[in-house]
């Protein structure tokens, strides 16, 4: 039943990665007044196949009613509980360069349940300046943030050269979940989760497809 790719509670990693999408679709439906939804319609809204949605949800439990569908509010509650969104998650952003400042100012972090409680930087020049309503703190403040504020999620927005060092500091302070915007592979001890977001990578993948398509179109013209 459980395998190497399963998370501690037996939910496959790929399923966990899709749950936020279902949650967003459900919230939209609930706001529109829909009290019940079928796997077919929720799957369409989420951009997945109905059987995949049902298989994913089956890992959480049996919260649907055969012949009817899923109660919107119930499913929202269950997925929220599974993801751990019933509590608040304090977030700290490390690295106040171009990207870090953009992230600090970006309202997108103010999603329900997440709150940026601290901004940090290794440069003494930057420490003490005020960004997006918060005073930038030195890296040395990390342990106190973890113990006093329950900091559990760190966002790395430093240049690649400083990323590993900042990552190590976060891990040493007790942070176990890291979102890495720096274009580097981070080495972390087991038990620490790193997710990576990289614009350059995304653009290059898109370039591949544009390139391939241009090639195909060219070949077609030549061949026809």
Partner DNA sequence: CACACTTTGTGAAAGCCTTCACAAGCGCGT
Partner DNA sequence: ACGCGCTTGTGAAGGCTTTCACAAAGTGTG
Bridge partners for 138 per DSSP: 121
Residue 5 partner contact from DNA, its own copies, none using kind-dependent CB cut-offs of 5 to 8 Å: DNA
* Pattern 192-221, its own copies, x by CB under 8 A: -x-x-xxxxxxxxxxxxxxxxxxxx-----
Are the C-beta atoms of 164 and 187 separated by less than 8 Å?
yes
**What track of x and - describes contact with its own copies for positions 11 through 50 (by CB under 8 A)?**
-----xx-xxx-xxx-------------------xxx---
116 in contact with its own copies (CB under 8 A)? no
Shortest distance, position 38 Cβ to its own copies, whole Å? 17
- Rule CB under 7 A: say whether 7 interacts with DNA: no
Contact between residue 152 and residue 90 where contact means Cβ atoms under 8 Å apart? yes
Q: Which stretch binds DNA (CB under 7 A): 64-72, 110-118, 136-144, 181-189?
A: 64-72
Nearer to its own copies, 79 or 169 (CB): 79
Which CB atom, from 152 or from 194, has the smaller least distance to DNA? 194
Single out the residue of 29, 99, 127, 170 in contact with its own copies (rule: CB under 8 A).
99
Torsion region of 167: left, alpha or beta (phi above 0 gives left; psi -120 to 50 gives alpha): alpha
In the chain, how many H helices and how many E strands?
Answer: 8, 10
State CA 171 to chain mean position distance. 18
For residue 128, the 8-state DSSP code is: T
Out of its own copies, DNA, none, which partner does residue 93 contact, by CB within 5 to 8 A per kind? none
Applying CB under 7 A, among 10, 13, 203, 212 the residue interacting with DNA is 13
Q: How would DSSP label each residue in 34-84?
A: --EE-HHHHHHHHTS-HHHHHHHHHTT---EETTTEEEHHHHHHHHHHHHT
- 3-class DSSP state of 119: strand
Note the residues at the interface with DNA (CB under 7 A): 3-6, 12-15, 37-40, 48-52, 54-55, 57-58, 62-70
């Amino acid at each position: 039943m459980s395998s190497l790719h399963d998370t501690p509670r037996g939910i496959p990693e790929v399923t966990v990665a899709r749950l936020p999408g279902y949650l967003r679709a459900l919230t939209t439906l609930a706001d529109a007044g829909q009290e019940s939804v079928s796997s077919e319609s929720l799957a369409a809204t989420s951009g997945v196949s109905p059987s995949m949605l049902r298989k994913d949800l089956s890992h959480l439990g049996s919260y649907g009613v055969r012949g009817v569908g899923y109660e919107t509010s119930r499913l929202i509650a269950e997925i929220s509980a599974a993801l751990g969104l019933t509590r608040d998650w304090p977030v700290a952003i490390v690295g106040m360069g171009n990207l870090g400042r953009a992230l600090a100012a970006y309202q997108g972090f103010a999603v329900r349940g997440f709150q940026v409680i601290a901004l940090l930087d290794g440069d003494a020049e930057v420490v003490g300046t005020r960004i997006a309503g918060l005073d930038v703190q030195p890296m040395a403040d990390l342990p106190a943030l973890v113990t006093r504020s329950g900091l559990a999620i760190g966002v790395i927005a430093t240049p690649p050269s400083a990323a590993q060092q900042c990552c190590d500091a976060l891990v040493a302070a007790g942070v176990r979940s890291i979102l890495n915007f720096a274009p580097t592979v981070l080495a972390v001890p087991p038990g620490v989760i790193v997710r990576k977001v990289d614009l350059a990578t995304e653009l290059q993948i898109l370039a591949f497809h544009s390139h391939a398509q241009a090639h195909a179109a060219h070949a077609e013209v030549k061949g026809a």
